[in-house]
Structure 1
Amino acid sequence: MATSTTGVTTRRVYALGSLAAILFGYDNGIISAAILFIPHELPLTPLLKGTVVSATVVGAMVGAVGSGPVADRQGRRRVLLAAGVVFTVGALGAGLAPNVATLVLFRFIIGLGIGISSVMVPLYLAEMAPADARGVVTSLNQYMIIIGTAVAAATGYGLAFAASWRWMVLIGVFPGIALVLGLLTVPDTPRSLVRRGHSDQARAVLTSLRRDRDAAGRELDEIVELERQQADARLGARMSAPWVRRLLVLGALLAVFQQITGVNTIVYYAPTVLTGFGVSDVTALLFTFLNGLVNIATIAIVVRARVVDRRGRKPVLLAGLVGMSLSLFAVGAAAIVLPPTSPALFGIAVAAFVVFTNSFSATWGPVLWVVLAEIFPLAIRGAAMAVATLFNWLTDFFVSLTFPTFTSLVGAGVVFLAYGAAGVLVFPIVWWAVPETKQRSLESLETWFRRGSWSRPAGGTA
């Protein structure tokens, strides 16, 4: 990889820039194991169980909506550093919580870090990556989330024998410290530096990240020119401009769609659902662990094959909807037809969950964040990402809070069928509304959207 005089390498920038996503995955995923054992020490009603799980989602809303505007003013790296501190404090407090109220409070604080990272990691990666690799680089966000989730599953399984939910949570302290220390060694993004008047630093960063110095110079000129145009005509970059409002609506809808396909019914509650089908806690957590390993392999193949950059964003999103809906229909129908403790039901549920999670990990997991990081104009990119991410977390909150209650009322089968049907409804909207953004620079995409040229196929980097 190319290296500048400051020692910055693309590999280190991408790895450390996406490290917060590992914490996102770990702290988001570990609750599925911990929630099996927390009631042994802290009594939980179904509503309190949903509150403990969804407290991070409420925190994520606050972290997401607050981080974007701050990042536009202070830079992407500083906000990611703040996320590392928040993750560390939250994990420490939650792991030592003496009662449910304290646990909920520090789960909320962990959520602040998750919300910040959900906005900042894809934004940081997209702004660091060249146009021809932006899809695969930004997909590292989801890859790291999956790794974090898999580590959480392995930790939950390993500590299940001791029923040690506190250590499951406390382990999140160590990567939080690593995130803070690591981010001290990498720069902010060139676009953020230009936006804040540091063009010389932006040039140094681009030169270190691009193999071709001339290409780096042209990219900097394009960024500076676009920033100059926006400085002369701020009205066109405000959120009230019609073309920007259209992008905001699209981003918010896509963020909602990712959640109403039911992903977090499985991320948060798969072990709980499986124990309801007659297997032990340890068996349910073993499945979560093994499925996490399969997820890592799946997204590694997708990243290596550069599917997002080669096939495009829209085809991948549509394919994901098919896989996710079919798998939810299968487990939903089986849960209604078969006896609750039937071995056949457990087998179908395991197969369906594997298909669902791997479909999501290869498609909607990474590609949503790729698209969101691409479609918004530079002047408000952080704030716009925050708005879209807020809608994502609002929907996640509804799903995570209500799943235990809905399941107790109508059964898991009906709930899974409902989320499968949501995927069917989303398919034609994505087909019609989502523009293809592959292989174009962020600056050319902004010009393209400003002109209202959505119907023209996107191609090239000009």
Structure 2
Amino acid sequence: MSPTTPPQAPVSPPGRKAFHAGLITACAGLLVGLDTGLISQALGFIGTDFRASTRDQEWIVSVLMLGASVGSLGAGTFSARFGRRAVLTAAMVLMFAGACLCTNAVGIPQILTGRLLIGVAIGICTFTAPLYISETMSGHLRGSMVSTFSMLQSAGILAGYLAGGILSAGGHWRWMVSMPMLPAALLFIGCFFLPPSPSWLIARGQDAKARTVLRALRNTPAEADAEFASIKAETERGRPSGLNLLRRQPNFRRSVMLGICLQVMQQLTGINVVMYYTPKILQNAHFGTSGAAWATVLIGVINTIVGIAAIFLVNRWGRRPLLCASAAIMAFSLAIAAVITGLHLSSVPATLCLLAALLTFVGGFGLGAGPLVWTLCSEIQPLEGRDFGVGCSTLANWWADWIVSNTFLSIVSVIGFGRTFGGFALMNVIFIAFTLLFVPETRDVPLETIETNLLSGKKLRDIGK
């Protein structure tokens, strides 16, 4: 009797493995957003329980950004040495530990420590997840999957707002801050199913494994081999990396500066002022505590819906048109908010107009400035300096976020909501001009083409051509 051939495992359709890897990685955005939504709703209850001052509350919110800046700064070095997967796995451990500390806090110092750890984890995620996606996805999926990362941040914010709205009736802020523990544990497990980044493997000299991974991620062996050859050629050029490349290559300095400016401009739109402090803004406009909580949920709903729409629009409309449209919508909305709050209008129609302006603002951000800044920052950096370049831009994002969130309440107490919103509206007008002058169109353009154009000295806005 002849031996029977053992059944073979079914082969996944082409591209499915890449899609699954991108989706698991993009789910890190859920945790990034979840904290934003939760702390926005929990902040008032924490302040009451621990008798926190305005400055204490600003620090409870903003210490996360300091941790995130540390995380994003170290993520480049560690992801280059240990790989993207290992660094994402470590981030989940830090997220779980930070949420545990906040849940069992006996005072503000413990909450600050826990949020610092969560911030480190978030900084790692916001650096590593878009980078990993850009290196494992093919060109036509790259923009959509990074936009999925951003959309899931929006979904996480909405989940946090909803949980806060439900739990706020009993003031259960400890339940709120414990919520990241479960998704962190699930993503910790999910990280073990991710393939390594082909670019990282080639940079580490593991060519055979890189070719195998690419063939599993691309539609055809020919496509995989062509991409392998392109990445290998870029690696073998022997360019210095990181700081050395920054010193020796002026064109790399241009891409690093562009990434930094994009991230700073994203924060100067005022998005995190609205996302963190919406309950306080609405209570100042004479919403009740419960009404402000549920109106905040509505902002989360709009943020999520527009984030989903952006996934489909990013590869249809392109980066530059969406960024300009996004900034224009945000400028117009904040100008309306500035008029209403600056004139202290408190009638029901005025209050509803303020809410509509905030909703429109959040929608405008989710349409373009939210997902596309992260996408562009991972696309415009050359391979040899990508870790360093993305790390610099991510660090700039968190420093700008910290400055804005750590000073907003204090600035409002001096100049009022009206002038503060007016200043953010002006920043969005500047963002439009900046986009038109410097931002390239990178839709469906291979990373290798963008790199070649950049290093050949083309204008920044032309490196996607």
The TM-score normalised by the length of structure 2 is 0.94
Determine whether 1:427 maps to 2:457.
Answer: no
After TM superposition, give the deviation of residue 408 of structure 1 in Å. 1.5
- State the distance in 2 between where 1:236 and 1:334 align: 48
- State the distance in 2 between where 1:290 and 1:344 align: 18
Equivalent residue, structure 2, for 1:376: 381
Determine whether 1:228 maps to 2:236.
Answer: yes
Determine whether 1:314 maps to 2:320.
Answer: yes
Change (3 A) 1:248 1:349: same
Q: Choose the corresponding residue for 2:198, options 171, 190, 201.
A: 190
After TM superposition, give the deviation of residue 290 of structure 1 in Å. 2.3
Deviations 1:300-353 (A, max 9, x none): 1221x3x222322111111111001110010111111233x4323321121011
Determine whether 1:163 maps to 2:171.
Answer: yes
- State the distance in 1 between where 2:243 and 2:280 align: 49
The one-letter amino acid paired with 1:267 is: M
After TM superposition, give the deviation of residue 12 of structure 1 in Å. 1.9
Determine whether 1:238 maps to 2:224.
Answer: no
- State the distance in 2 between where 1:108 and 1:293 align: 28
- Decide whether the 8 Å contact of 1:210 with 1:216 is kept in 2: yes
Q: Choose the corresponding residue for 2:293, options 285, 289, 292.
A: 285
Deviations 1:234-284 (A, max 9, x none): 699711210011111111111100001111110100111101111122211
- State the distance in 1 between where 2:401 and 2:28 align: 19
- Point out the more displaced range, 114-123 or 280-289: 280-289
The one-letter amino acid paired with 1:238 is: L
After TM superposition, give the deviation of residue 189 of structure 1 in Å. 1.3
After TM superposition, give the deviation of residue 114 of structure 1 in Å. 0.9
Q: Choose the corresponding residue for 1:438, options 426, 440, 443.
A: 443
RMSD value over aligned CA atoms?
2.1
Change (3 A) 1:24 1:459: closer
Secondary structure of 1:324's aligned partner? helix
- Decide whether the 8 Å contact of 1:439 with 1:458 is kept in 2: no
Q: Identity percentage over the alignment?
A: 31
Q: Choose the corresponding residue for 1:333, options 336, 339, 342.
A: 339
The one-letter amino acid paired with 1:219 is: E
- Decide whether the 8 Å contact of 1:338 with 1:345 is kept in 2: no
- Decide whether the 8 Å contact of 1:26 with 1:145 is kept in 2: yes
Determine whether 1:362 maps to 2:367.
Answer: yes
Q: Choose the corresponding residue for 1:267, options 275, 294, 299.
A: 275
Q: Which runs of 5+ in 2 are unaligned?
A: 1-9
Deviations 1:135-172 (A, max 9, x none): 11211110111111111111111101111111100011
- State the distance in 1 between where 2:371 and 2:430 align: 21
- State the distance in 1 between where 2:462 and 2:416 align: 45
- State the distance in 2 between where 1:346 and 1:117 align: 37
1:56-71 superposed matches below 5 A: 56-71=64-79
- Decide whether the 8 Å contact of 2:102 with 2:110 is kept in 1: yes
- Point out the more displaced range, 192-201 or 89-98: 192-201
After TM superposition, give the deviation of residue 380 of structure 1 in Å. 2.0
- State the distance in 1 between where 2:70 and 2:462 align: 36
- Decide whether the 8 Å contact of 1:135 with 1:370 is kept in 2: yes
Number of aligned positions between the proteins: 455
Change (3 A) 1:380 1:457: closer
After TM superposition, give the deviation of residue 459 of structure 1 in Å. 6.3
Deviations 1:367-419 (A, max 9, x none): 00110000111122112111111111111111101111111222111111111
After TM superposition, give the deviation of residue 456 of structure 1 in Å. 8.0
The one-letter amino acid paired with 1:207 is: R
After TM superposition, give the deviation of residue 98 of structure 1 in Å. 0.5
- Decide whether the 8 Å contact of 1:54 with 1:401 is kept in 2: yes
Q: Which runs of 5+ in 1 are unaligned?
A: none
Change (3 A) 1:456 1:3: farther
Equivalent residue, structure 1, for 2:418: 413
Equivalent residue, structure 2, for 1:392: 397
Q: Choose the corresponding residue for 1:13, options 12, 21, 36.
A: 21
The one-letter amino acid paired with 1:249 is: M
Q: Choose the corresponding residue for 1:26, options 11, 15, 34.
A: 34
Determine whether 1:142 maps to 2:163.
Answer: no
Determine whether 1:404 maps to 2:393.
Answer: no
The one-letter amino acid paired with 1:239 is: L
- State the distance in 1 between where 2:464 and 2:29 align: 30
